[in-house]
Amino acid sequence: MKTSKALLVLTLFGSACFSQETTVVARMGMRNAATYHFLDAFQTHRGKWIYPDVGYIDFAKNGYWEFFIGGGAVLHDSKRFTLIHEGFIDRAQGRLSHSATYYQPWTLFGYKLSQKVSGKTVYFPYLPLNKSARIQHVLECAQLEYDFKHFRAGAGYGGYRFADEDWQHKPYVTWTLKAGSLGELELWLQRIPRNVILGSGAHGSFVQAQIRFAKTFKKNQ
C-alpha cells in the first residue's frame, strides 16, 4: 500500500537531490466510512539510499493492522527509466492477525514515454516468516498519467491475491494536484471487489475513494 511513496520517490529522483530528504505520506480509503488508514515516513540520502522507511496501515474496524520497517536504494535512474527496490519486515497485529510476520521485497519501475506522459508499476509480495503468515501478492499499481502542468490525471490497474485464491482486480482513475512546496494531493476512484470486504461468497463490486497526501522536507548537509 505504498503507491503515494512511489509517486514521491519518482519525483525526488527526477530532480536535483538534496543531501537528505524526509517524506511523510498519509492515505485514507473511503466508502460510507473509512475503509483503511495508512501512514509512511522515509528518508532519502544523497539521491540513492532510502532509510529508514517506517509505516503503519489498518483496515478500519476489522481488528487487523500492520507495522513495517525497512530500507533500500535507487538501482537505476535516468531520463527515461527509474528502478527502486526496498526490503521490509512487516508485522501484523490485532485479534485477526495471529501475529503473522512477513518479508516484503518492494519494487518500483518508473518510465517516461514523453515530456507529458509517464507511468509506473509497483509490485510486492508478502513472504511468510512464521506459520501463521500466508503468501500474498500485491500489484499496487500499473498506471499511466498525463501532466497538465498544475495537475496530473491518468488511469491504472491494481491487483491482489491471497494464498491460492483468485486474483482480485482493482482498476482505477487518478488525479493529482501539484501544490509545490505544500506537497501533493492525490485522489483515486477505484473499483473494489465485494469479497474483499464481505468474504469469498460475495459478488459484484463497489467504488472506493482514496485520498493521498505527501510532503517532502529537504535539507542540505
Look at the alpha carbons of 52, 10, 34, 93 in this order and tell me if their dihedral is positive or negative: negative
Name the pLDDT band for 61 (thresholds 50, 70, 90): confident
3-state secondary structure of 194: coil
Name the pLDDT band for 16 (thresholds 50, 70, 90): very low
* Residue range 205-216: mean pLDDT, rounded: 95
Q: Please, how many CA atoms are within 13 Å of residue 165, restricted to the half-sphere of its CB?
A: 18
d(CA 184, CA 118): 17
Cell 482480485 maps to which residue? 168
3-state SS record for 104-146: EEEEEEEEECCCCEEEEEEEEEEEECCCCCCCEEEEEEEEEEE
Domains and CATH numbers, the chain: 3-219 (2.40.160.40)
* Residue range 196-211: mean pLDDT, rounded: 73
Bridge partners for 74 per DSSP: 84
Q: What's the whole-model pTM score?
A: 0.89
**How confident is the model over 127-173, as pLDDT tens digits?**
999 999 999 999 999 999 999 999 999 999 999 999 999 999 999 99
Residue 217 in contact with residue 21, Cβ under 8 Å? Answer: yes
Name the pLDDT band for 11 (thresholds 50, 70, 90): low
- CA 197, chain centre distance (Å): 20
Q: 76 vs 14, 80, 143, CA distance in Å? A: 12, 10, 20
Q: For residue 38, what pLDDT is reported? A: 97
Q: What is the DSSP string of 69-90?
A: EEEEEEEEE-SSEEEEEEEEEE
d(CA 163, CA 152): 35
Q: b vs e for 15-53, b when ≥16 Cβ sit within 10 Å of the residue's Cβ?
A: eebbeebebbbbbbbeeeeebbebebebbbbeeeebeeb
d(CA 164, CA 114): 39
* Cβ contacts of 158 within 8 Å, gap of 6 or more: 139, 140, 141, 142, 170, 171, 172, 190
